[in-house]
Amino acid sequence: MTKIVKSNLARIQTCDLENKTQIALDRGGIQTCDPVKIEERTGYKHTKLGWIPQEWETPRIDEVFDFLSTNSLSRSQLNYETEDGVYNIHYGDIHTTYKQPILDFDIENRVPKINRDIVLSQNIDFLKDGDLVIADASEDYEGVGEAIELKNINGKKVTSGLHTFAFRDKTYETAEGFRVYIFRNLLVKKALKTIATGSKVYGISKGNIQKFRIVLPPLPEQQKIAAILSTWDSAIAKQQQLIAAKQEFKKGLMQLLLTGKKRFPEFEGNWETSKLGNYCQFTQGVQIPYSEQIDEEKKGYIRYLYIRDFFSNDFKCYVTDCYPSKIMEKEDLMMVNTGNTAGKVFKGTRGVLSNNAFKISTKKGLSKEFLYYLLSSEFTQLKIQRFFNYGGQPHVGHKNVARIPISIPNLAEQKKIIQIIDNFKKESRNMDESLNQLKNQKKGLMQLLLTGEKRVKI
């Protein structure tokens, strides 16, 4: 078992320039002046990136890695259908799809392939195990320099795609499994932000990153750190697999329960089938003039422009209470009728309903919770989508939604089904919390190890 030894933390004594010193630290270094005194740390040295152990180095990227060729293929030039071909790593997938720092081709099946009609350069570099692919563009600072390391390519042809850099160790001074963490070191990430340029999208140029310095422990220490973090990654991956399996099971069970294909032994008899409009009442929202918007103490009106953030307190404007028929209560359901979320159903919140959604109130004999699960189900969503009108964006009216046929059991069976689904949701929340705990624990340990505040015993 690997032992971890904690070092003494750095002590920085400042006079009247504490705020100025903090700004300098945030930019990856310390701006010294006469009133500021930096005390020595036994076994550590101070660099432009910050304090690191004495035997660690801060080489330039181009001193350690070769730059490999990349391409600029768009999403439209990639596909997931081709059985064989050249895999391509798109920068968007680095940000959103690949959740683990190591992209393991034996596990990950969401790497697209290049369309067969695309002719690749004869000088293209195909990637190997241990190569790094780094996104050179991001919509926020946190994503600047996001990287993955490749594993188990096993003869596949893999290229580095749009808005990426591809690196290969040319010195044999970095350990497999550790290379990706070079760019997750907090000292390095802070410094990367200083070379990112742009306004809406932040980018890193090849000229800047070539000269960029990284933090590099000796090879044996890299290997130990990689082994420790790999253990955490395995635990996180297993938890993610459990969550995915649970979600698939829940999805299948919900469909069986909500369609009556799976029944409880205490319930008999056929379900009642009719159009949705016979069980519900629909109320279209209202367009509120801006002149009627007043202070935050009044009733909330959810604007269409923020429909994707439906009940976020950050995206409300407020109106006078002059539309009593349009007010939603917490127990009401609401469906969006325009935009990318057209047809989606949401549980209510107190407020005046926007004109781009309608309220659904249930009549006697139908539970609102049961209807919520029924309308949210995949098979009902497909029925709703058949009534979509497409102009500039999808649209569905409540008159068409009212025509959708549904089948419902009696209230007692509805209540039983709701209970089962609620229990699954609770289990899923607990599993998500466990996953977040693992991620946070790994994140904290990772930064201590990568900055040398905690040392592994070699």
The string of DSSP letters for 248-293 reads: HHHHHHHHHHHHTSS--TT--SPPEEEEGGGTEEEEE-B---GGGB
Alpha carbons 253 and 245: distance in angstroms, whole number: 12
Contact 161/107 with Cβ under 8 angstroms? no
Strands 158-160 and 87-89: parallel
The per-residue pLDDT string of the chain (458 residues; one tens digit each, 9 = 90 and over) reads: 444 444 434 433 333 333 333 333 333 344 444 444 455 788 999 999 999 999 999 999 999 999 999 999 999 999 998 888 999 999 999 999 998 999 999 999 999 999 999 999 989 999 999 999 999 988 887 888 899 999 999 999 999 999 999 999 999 999 999 999 999 999 999 999 889 888 778 899 999 999 999 999 999 999 999 999 999 999 999 999 999 999 999 999 999 999 999 999 999 999 999 999 999 999 888 776 554 444 444 455 554 433 444 444 444 555 545 566 676 777 789 898 888 889 999 886 667 777 888 989 898 899 999 999 999 999 999 999 999 987 778 899 999 999 999 999 999 999 999 999 999 999 999 999 999 999 999 999 999 999 999 999 88
CA distance 82 to 113: 7
**Bridge-partner residues for 213, per DSSP?**
60
Same topology, domains 61-216 and 272-408? Answer is: yes
| Contacts with 428 (C-beta within 8 Å, 6 or more apart), sequence order | 243, 246, 247, 250
- For residues 114, 116, 119, 125, the Cα torsion angle rounded to the nearest 10 degrees is 40
Residue with tokens 């090879």: 219
The residues near 103 (Cβ < 8 Å, ≥ 6 apart) are 89, 111, 133, 148, 149, 150, 151
Return the DSSP state at 201. Answer: S
Report pLDDT digits (tens) over 72-109.
999 999 999 888 899 999 999 999 999 899 999 999 99
**Confidence at residue 169, expressed as pLDDT on a 0 to 100 scale:** 97
- CA atoms of 427 and 313, how far apart (whole Å): 27
Q: What is the CATH number of domain 272-408?
A: 3.90.220.20
Which pLDDT value is given to residue 313? Answer: 47
Q: What pTM value is reported for the model?
A: 0.74
- For the stretch 153-190, pLDDT in tens is 999 999 999 999 999 999 999 999 999 999 999 999 99
The domain limits of the chain are: 4-42, 61-216, 272-408
Instruction: Please tell me the CATH code under which domain 61-216 is placed.
Output: 3.90.220.20
Q: Which residues pair with 456 in a beta bridge?
A: 4
Determine contact, residues 374/406, Cβ cutoff 8 Å: yes
